[in-house]
Amino acid sequence: MYIYPYVRFAMYHVFLENYFIERHIWDHEIIFIDNGKMKITIEGKVYIVDENTCIILRPGVYHKIEWHEENCSQPHVHFDFYKQDNSEEVTVSKITRNLMSEKELTYFRSDFFKENGIDIPPVFKLKNPGVVKNILFKIIDEFTFNHPYASIMLQGLMSELIATIIRDYRMGQDDVSFSKAKELNSLAIYMSENVDKNFTLDDFSNYINISKWSLIQFFKKYYNTTPMNYFHQLRYYRAKNLLQYTFLSVKEISYKMGFYSPQSFSRWFKSLEGLSPNDFRKQK
């Protein structure tokens, strides 16, 4: 899944009494409830949201936001998943569809989540809100102060925010798996730093001190693949980078990647890429 986010608007906003907004938006919006409460109606369903709630508003979906009991701090960001020809022209909608001009009706983006089969609700409590809040605040700072290379920073931060929110939701569906998030992240870093090793599942199981069966179950829920497949993919991409961007010989790369011989490395690489290391290098 490849995205190229364009941040349209980002700010830290306090929702005050007697204020409300009713609209259809053209783009996607992520709202984080920092503190306070707010009432939001999305396609007829009413939610009372409070601290550490994440709200995802999608293009063309009717919603109404209202004050509820106390002022609400709600940093938020409007964005496109891909920068389009008219991304800079499109603004933030504050009206409903029936009030839009013919041109404005062409502004609606497609629903990225629906298109990519990502089943995530419009409102849910974050399990790890501090991480989401930190990334969102960085986005708001970059957008507000327009630091040098802000557009590049915003693209990276927005990608990180989206991935973090999706992962938080998915892991939040299984409290047991989420409790192992720290260990699983540590293992993923360990794998990345040791792609030249010939690890086994036993090695990974011992590293975070859980059974092999539990490791496979938790890892698949967190990374959507098995530990060994994840590690082999890391090795595969590292090998491709060495072949494509260095002048090391295939023999040198094979030993650098922890293979016993260039022949075993070549067989392994061809089984994944469909080309021998030499043919891959020539093609690239």
pLDDT at res. 107: 97
Nearest-CA neighbor of 11 among 92, 127, 90? 92
Burial of 209 (0-12, 13-18, 19+ CB in 10 A): exposed
Which residues, at least 6 apart from 198, have a Cβ–Cβ distance to it below 8 Å?
258
pLDDT at position 272, please?
Answer: 87
Binned average pLDDT, 10 residues per bin, the chain of 284 residues: 89 87 97 95 95 96 94 96 94 96 96 92 92 94 92 93 89 63 83 90 94 90 86 90 89 91 92 90 82
pLDDT of residue 177: 53
* 54-99 pLDDT, tens digit each: 999 999 999 999 999 899 999 999 999 999 999 999 999 999 999 9
Query: Which CATH number describes the domain made up of 178-283?
Result: 1.10.10.60
Q: 234 forms bridges with which residues in the sheet?
A: none
Supply the pLDDT for residue 19: 84
The domain segmentation of the chain, as residue ranges, is 6-173, 178-283
Superfamily of domain 6-173: Regulatory protein AraC (2.60.120.280)
